[in-house]
Copies of this chain bind each other. A is one copy, B any other.
Amino acid sequence: MPKVGMPAIRKPQLIQAAIEAIDERGFSGATVSVIGKKAGVSPAIINHYFGGKNGLLEETMKSLIREFFLLLKQELVRGKKASGIDKVMIIVKTSFSHSQTQPEVVKVWMGFWALAMHSHVFLRLQRVYSKRLKTALVMELKAILDIQKAREVAHIVASLIDGMWLRGSLDGGINKSYSTKLIRSYLELEIS
């Protein structure tokens, strides 16, 4: 039995199992037993690696956020020659792409949002996401708008993204092309 590197294997494995469990059964149905079964390991090792169920959930959320901003960074690098609205749209599209790469994250993300309302840790994490998304938007928008306006538009775009995620969660998925089209048309209106 290899003794080294086990955490590096087990942790992502359990996080993925947690995401799937939450997606399938909701937060209340995602018991350690279910998650363990899904990962093919004993529920007891969740405690071993994460110090408890809550630890796993925290890591899961952090992982989701980290993954998103990693993706965003990559996309922004890839499109660094774009400008104006196109640059903003990269953020928008990435927001929706994330949910397409892994469709189950929609429900999970929204579940964490609800959790955030009564848990310090999750609230902090959710705010990190929320702030960073807005900051990224402002960053691009202030190139084409004055800072004051940029902040307002960023707030609108961020709200649109979240609102469309929310509504998408109700319909079993987000309609990426329709969503991006509408947001782009708004931006064009605002900027031209």
Contacts and interface: CB of A to CB of B under 8 A. Distances in A.
Contact of A170 (B26, B111, B116, B163): B116
Interface in A145-192: 152, 155-156, 158-164, 166-167, 169-170, 182, 185-186, 189-190
A99 interface: no
A118 B26 contact: yes
Contacts of A186: 156, 186, 190
A158 B171 CA distance: 15
A130 B163 contact: no
Contact of A114 (B25, B29, B111): B111
A87 interface: no
Copies of this protein chain in the complex = 4
B160 A156 contact: yes
Given A156-B182, A163-B158, A117 B110 contact: yes
A17 to B, nearest CB: 17
A28 interface: yes
Nearest to A110: B114
A113 interface: yes
Contacts of A29: 118
A130 B164 CA distance: 12
Given A111-B114, A113-B114, 17 more contacts: A26-B115, A27-B28, A28-B118, A111-B117, A113-B169, A114-B115, A130-B167, A156-B160, A158-B163, A160-B160, A162-B163, A162-B166, A162-B167, A163-B163, A163-B164, A166-B166, A186-B186
